[in-house]
Structure 1
Amino acid sequence: MTAPVRPSARVQLAAVFRKEVQQTVRDRRVMFMLVVAPLIQTVVFGFAVDYEVDRVTTVVVDPDRSATSREDARRLLADGTLRPVGEAGSADAASAAIDEGRASAALVFERRAEADRLSRRGQEVQVLLDGTDPNRTTVTSGAVSRFFAELGERLAREQLATAGATPPAQLRPVPRVAFNPGLETAPYMVPGIAAMLLVIVTTFTSAMGLAREREMGTLEQVLVTPIRPLLLLVGKMAPFVVIGLVVVTLLVGVGTWIFAVPIRGSLGLLYLGTILYLLTTLGAGLLISTMSANQQQAFLGGFLFTIPAVLLSGLMTPILAMPGWLRPLTLVNPIRWYAEIMRGILLRGAGLADLWLELLVLLVIGVAIVAAATLRFHRRLG
């Protein structure tokens, strides 16, 4: 009696790949979550996440009501950072407007603003700010301070010229901003948003997919076939890698079309980084699934992985602003490295010589996670 012929590894891998593709394509909910949802979220988040501060609601307290104070207020409110919403009769009234949420800032001029300036005495303008939003407060304070610093310098030069003295030479910095001259938020945030959405979608999908098959009993049917655990996991990951590459292509296209995100580097290198990144996210999902007895546990495990990963990626908070004891945790966070790869390729035109370290770190993290998932899966089989 002849022994049954064991299919080759290529045939086994192709069979698992084909089964996973058919199962994924048939489930419209999964396809929507994999392809359509990231596109919608990228557009929404791209418009919603904006670090630019403008139109800060401001009340003006001007007891002097002179031409000088009115001109100062008009020029200060002209650039759009501050948006006037009315006047107040006193500093207390302005403070009450901030307390009640009707304004976020208040400009309080002195009663003798024009007389003090004409007599060359010091002039004080009080700025009341709502500190519940530190970013908005810092930008608003900087805009007001910059305006009056430039005004004070101009007045000092005019006074020196009137007195017949030679004004001192001016030193004016001329900033030249590379890669994002307009300092727009979207070109910086959209690559990070793409990295965040990919980890959420792929991790949850892979984690719940294996758990769902275990609940339905189809996993046991696959396990009775002579297929190695590593080939089974690779076959389950491969279709999502292909879908992930398609999703990245769509996200980059949407970012370029809607948010003017440039493409200055090699798309081939971007796809290589995406493959290594998907190796980590899908591997994390499979590892979570091997530790879960049902889909609810897999969902909770995916949530516990993705939320800390996003918060420690540097997308929302700069890594250098984190406490020193927390920064080492970011070194094993794949989102951090993939976001740097995407921004480097799209915004700076970085090449392999610039990003080899990030790619190597993703490779090491991905191999370690997949190896752990394979070992855990093999032990569960035993």
Structure 2
Amino acid sequence: MWARLVALIAKEFLAVWKDRRSRAVIIGPPLIQLLIFGYAATFDVNHVATAIYDEDGGLAARDLIARFEGSPSFEIVARLTREAEIRQVIDPKRAILVIHVGQTFSRDLLARRPARVQLIVDGRESNTALIILGYASRIVADFNSDWLKAHGEIAPPAHLVVRSWFNPNLESRWFIVPGIVALLTLVVTMVVTALTVAREREVGTFEQLLVTPFRPFEILIGKAVPALVIGLAEGTVIIAVGVFWFGVPLRGDLPLLYAGLFLYILAVIGIGLMISSVCRTQQQAILGAFLFVVPAVILSGFATPIANMPPLIQDLTLVNPMRYFLIIVRGTFLEGLSAGLVLERLWPMAVIAAVSLSGAAWLFRHRLQ
């Protein structure tokens, strides 16, 4: 039996390597997607196109505006001279933010009266607008603090000091790149596994496989092992790129991370084999893989927190292996997740893997009969 399995596994590796479409899916796109996601997928907002409408022109107004000019988060693209010009820069998106300093800004500050600054932000992209307002509010708060110290006024009774654990500089890349390990491993493993039986049915070699001495479970193992090796290799490459190229710290234990990666890939392989068992063409298999991958990514917490989803949708995420591995990979990278917390996420993936592989074996036997 072991000799037959080794021969079948070698045959599967050769089939994947000789198939141009499978080879292209494994090698090129994952690395390209990793670089694109790593650089382009970010929650940080830099070089915000900003317009200045300064009606005051005083020393305090110039000091406040200079702080925006010196910030890497803002880029001054226009200086307005009348209120009507605000619409002319916001509507065509020439500027996302307009800073309007009123005529009496410096005078009110010197008279120890509240002075107002108006921030006009393009709200068509609400998430970006909230981030921009947070950046701008922080600059204004620093201006207020420095003004109080310089003019001998009583400082506010409470001084807020913010400290971010695990990601002190709040770099969104540290959050995105570990998630890409789960995302690209899912995509590659799912596509390779979903195509394995469908490809043989389409080219006519599946019937030849059925007349060999291989039993159904041996065929199943022979098709699962190459996908497991490919998935582990892909995950390893992505982890290495994340650490050595993007500089994301890896604070946890690699054995725990690979234990999670192993069970995660097994669960994905089981689902991929189930899809492949019911598909007769590669086009159907690709569509089936797509129908699983997109909801799995959305329901994993990759981009939006699961806690913000409706209760029924949160229950659906419990059968999604990516949900558990995402916690493991991000926790291992950024916080050094303990073995106990990792084990809490390992056993659900083990259950999903057992159920999906059992379902794939049943479908496989059923299709062979």
- The reply to whether TM is greater than 0.5 is yes
Deviation (angstroms), 1:193: 0.9
SS at match of 1:326: helix
- Mapped to 1, the partners of 2:336 and 2:81 lie a distance apart of 55
User: Residue in 1 aligned with 2:22?
Assistant: 30
Relative to structure 1, is the Cα distance of residues 104 and 275 closer, same or farther in structure 2, using a 3 angstrom cutoff?
A: same
How does 1:1-382 map onto structure 2 within 5 Å?
8=1, 10-155=2-147, 161=152, 167=154, 170-382=157-369
Q: Count residues in correspondence.
A: 369
CA contact (8 A) 1:61 1:88 kept: yes
Deviation (angstroms), 1:111: 1.5
Q: Counterpart of 1:297 in structure 2: which amino acid?
A: Q
Deviations 1:101-124 (A, max 9, x none): 110010111122222222233322
CA contact (8 A) 1:95 1:128 kept: no
Q: Counterpart of 2:179 in structure 1: which amino acid?
A: G
CA contact (8 A) 1:313 1:330 kept: yes
SS at match of 1:84: strand
Deviations 1:221-254 (A, max 9, x none): 1112233322211110101211221222211111
Relative to structure 1, is the Cα distance of residues 122 and 180 closer, same or farther in structure 2, using a 3 angstrom cutoff?
A: closer
Gaps of 5+ in 2: none
Deviation (angstroms), 1:178: 2.7
Deviations 1:4-57 (A, max 9, x none): xxxx3x233223212112222333542332134312221221011111112111
SS at match of 1:41: helix
CA contact (8 A) 1:179 1:347 kept: yes
SS at match of 2:312: coil
Relative to structure 1, is the Cα distance of residues 290 and 227 closer, same or farther in structure 2, using a 3 angstrom cutoff?
A: same
**TM-score, scaled to structure 1:** 0.90
SS at match of 1:77: helix
Deviation (angstroms), 1:97: 0.8
Gaps of 5+ in 1: 1-7
Deviation (angstroms), 1:187: 2.1
- Mapped to 2, the partners of 1:152 and 1:245 lie a distance apart of 53
Deviation (angstroms), 1:67: 2.2
Once superposed, what is the RMSD of the aligned Cα atoms?
2.0
* Larger Cα-atom Rg: 1
Deviations 1:252-295 (A, max 9, x none): 11111111122222222222211111111121111111221211
- Mapped to 2, the partners of 1:261 and 1:101 lie a distance apart of 34
Relative to structure 1, is the Cα distance of residues 219 and 155 closer, same or farther in structure 2, using a 3 angstrom cutoff?
A: same
- Mapped to 1, the partners of 2:173 and 2:141 lie a distance apart of 31
- Mapped to 1, the partners of 2:98 and 2:57 lie a distance apart of 16
CA contact (8 A) 2:145 2:155 kept: no
SS at match of 2:72: coil
Percentage identity across paired residues of the two chains = 37
Relative to structure 1, is the Cα distance of residues 101 and 13 closer, same or farther in structure 2, using a 3 angstrom cutoff?
A: same
Deviation (angstroms), 1:365: 0.6
Q: Counterpart of 1:95 in structure 2: which amino acid?
A: R
CA contact (8 A) 1:61 1:107 kept: yes
Relative to structure 1, is the Cα distance of residues 84 and 50 closer, same or farther in structure 2, using a 3 angstrom cutoff?
A: same
